[in-house]
Amino acid sequence: MELILINIALVVSVLFGGMLVSLIQRSKNEQIIKLMLAFSGGFLLSIAFIHFIPELYAHADQNVGLYILIGFLIQLILEFFSGGIEHGHVHAHKGDAIPIALVIALSVHAILEGIPLGTQLGGIEIATAHHHGNDNSLLLGILFHRLPVAIALMTLLSISKATKMKSWLIIGLFAITTPVGVYIGYNTSHIVDFDFNIILAIVVGMFLHISTTIIFETSENHKFNFLKLLTILGGCSLAFFMH
């Protein structure tokens, strides 16, 4: 039951982000995306440093630092194809085609981050659960990030030459990508002799790349907008109190 509810939440977060685009003016979309991304950036950075990294080093293999670095570099490569939509970049002009590589890059990222979540739900002990049981840090980090990414993706689709039906088809496919990763982790963790902390470490490296990029790009002329600064601190605070 928990598995089903979590997958529903993951799908709804993306569909809700898509719906927001049609309900709110584009200029306001950009502000909403920036604030949501600032909050998710603060949250992702905090759970990486105060939760996942210490527990990975305590319970995973000694090469965990290498896997985190690999995750960081994988995200760097994925963003070469996605154009940085993971941190709010919407580069499109009216009538532009949607690059297939962008959708594939987003999907690869989403599937990877779903695998350790599925492993955790399957009852396999990984670094997400050593201290706190099946806590929700990873789930919330994914949800907080998927919503603004969905808004950015739907914004890009709405100004491209994609029809409304095609736009919703792409959003729908993106909505199920993380659940696909969840089911991969959930169903393979019991039958494959593999340390799934490696996948978690890679995902943490991806989180570090995304969150630091979001935070550094949230500045206007190298100065933090006060509201954005508060939003980042809010994300950091939530992660701290959950720990």
Question: What gap in Å lies between CA 49 and CA 155, rounded to an integer?
Answer: 32
Position of tokens 């979001």?
214
Separation between Cα atoms, residue 36 and residue 6, nearest integer Å: 21
Supply the pLDDT for residue 94.
56
Whether 210 contacts 73, CB under 8 Å: no
Q: What is the pLDDT of residue 132?
A: 44
Q: Which of 84, 82, 136, 138 is nearest to 113 (CA)?
A: 138
In which residue ranges of the chain is pLDDT below 70? Answer: 1, 25-29, 88-98, 124-135, 218-224, 243
pLDDT value of residue 133: 42
pLDDT at 216: 78
Question: Is the separation of the CB atoms in 81 and 102 below 8 Å?
Answer: yes
Return d(Cα 243, Cα 225) in angstroms, integer.
Answer: 27
**Amino acid at site 194:** F
pLDDT for res 196 = 86
Strand-pairing partners, residue 224, are 219
What is the pLDDT, as a whole number, of residue 130? 47
pLDDT (0 to 100) of residue 74: 95
